């Protein structure tokens, strides 16, 4: 058994009407192939850049699970045949990542943006050139 991280995009119609049933469907497909569910977490519902199986929106579900290595191809096939799951990504991982609350996750991003603004203003200060240096000088071609 090996640790895997699975990201599943659930159809917006199914996720919107009964989220618990959608999660049980995904977990059931995993358990049918011998997987042991360790952690299940709902991400957010998002609009897609393009349609997936005719859907414009979907809800993301992150699941950490242990499964036999030879069952992964069968698990992927089961999800491809499922009408409720629009897209699947399963990768091997070494450990379960802890998710952070949105407030903590957004705070460093705001700091980074503030630093970028400060860096840009410093760059424009150093990029100022005196008017004498910026005047082009025409030279005659030597013959």
Residue 113 has a pLDDT of 52
Residue 108 has a pLDDT of 53
Residue 138 has a pLDDT of 55
Q: Give the separation between CA 10 and CA 26, rounded to whole angstroms.
A: 9
Residue 73 has a pLDDT of 94
Residue 17 has a pLDDT of 87
User: Using CA of residue 4, residue 103, residue 87, residue 30, what is the dihedral sign?
Assistant: positive
Domains of the chain from N-terminus onward = 2-92 (3.30.70.60)
pLDDT tens for the 143 residues of the chain, in order: 899 999 999 998 888 888 899 999 999 999 999 999 999 999 889 999 998 888 899 999 999 999 999 999 999 999 999 989 999 999 999 888 876 545 444 555 555 555 555 555 545 454 455 455 555 555 555 55
Q: Give the separation between CA 57 and CA 48, rounded to whole angstroms.
A: 6
Residue 120 has a pLDDT of 53
18 backbone dihedrals φ, ψ, rounded to 5°: -150, 90
Pairing of strands 2-11, 55-67: antiparallel
């Amino acid at each position: 058994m090996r640790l895997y991280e699975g990201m599943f995009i659930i159809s917006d119609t199914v996720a919107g009407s009964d989220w618990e049933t959608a999660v049980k469907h995904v977990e059931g497909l995993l358990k049918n192939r011998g997987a042991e569910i360790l952690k299940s977490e709902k991400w957010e519902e998002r609009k897609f850049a393009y349609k997936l199986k005719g859907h414009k929106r979907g809800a993301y579900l992150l699941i950490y699970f242990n499964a036999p290595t030879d069952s992964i191809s069968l698990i992927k096939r089961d999800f491809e045949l499922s009408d409720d799951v629009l897209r699947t990504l399963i990768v091997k991982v070494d450990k379960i990542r802890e998710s952070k609350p949105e407030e903590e996750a957004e705070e460093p991003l705001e700091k980074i943006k503030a630093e970028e603004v400060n860096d840009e203003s410093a760059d424009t200060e150093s990029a100022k050139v005196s008017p004498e240096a910026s005047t082009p000088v025409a030279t005659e071609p030597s013959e």
